[in-house]
Amino acid sequence: ALVSLTDHDTIGAPVLLRMVPEAGEIPFSLEWSVPFEEAIFHLGIHNLPGSQAQAIMADLAGYTQSPSAQRLSELIAMLDESPDVLIVFNHPLWDLRGIGQQRYQQLLLQFLQRHVRFVHAFELNAMRGRKENDGVIRLAGHWHRLLVSGGDRHGCEPSGALNLTEAKSFSEFVREVRAEQRSHVLFMPQ
């Protein structure tokens, strides 16, 4: 099994887990909070290069603290330049700040018009409802992006959504999604 654990705006968990010899291959990943005007979007940033993970994390945190449209474009493009990094738009239809569906949809459209070329997949989230996930499926189809599994478990129970893959490493899985345009999502009974 391949697992990419994410916390909000930190790679602390993967850093600690990599101290355990059996977990040495866990990718450096996070869920990046991306302020975009009145909205906040969450991007899953998976498999950061180990030698640059801390510096990249500092750059991402700097943007979150002091957003700028130009800096956002630079950061997302920089992440996309690494062929082993996977950028996933997590729960893209969730209006986290409660700004209202009409305004949220306007900002989502603006964000995607500017940055979708750097987004490799949209998340089907096991903790979000079927109606929302159906909307994500339509959104991904409209923007010609794949779907990958996600969970937002915030606890010890494993995610109810899994990706089925033949990859032997997370970098191989990233290649399946980015280069081969392959992703197979399975929702478990729970």
Which residues are 124's β-sheet partners?
A: 149
Tokens of 107: 């900002």
Q: Among 10-19, 92-101, 132-141, which is the least confidently predicted range? A: 10-19
Tokens of 81: 């330049």
What's the longest Cα–Cα distance across the chain? 49
Give percent above pLDDT 90 in the chain: 78
**Who has greater pLDDT, 115 or 189?**
115
User: Residue range 75-82: average pLDDT?
Assistant: 98
Across all residues in the chain, what is the average pLDDT?
93
pLDDT band of 97, cuts 50, 70, 90: very high
SS3 43: strand
DSSP state of 50: T
Rounded to whole angstroms, the Cα distance separating 40 from 135 reads 18
Asked if residues 139 and 124 have their Cβ atoms less than 8 Å apart, the reply is no
- For the whole model, what pTM was predicted? 0.95
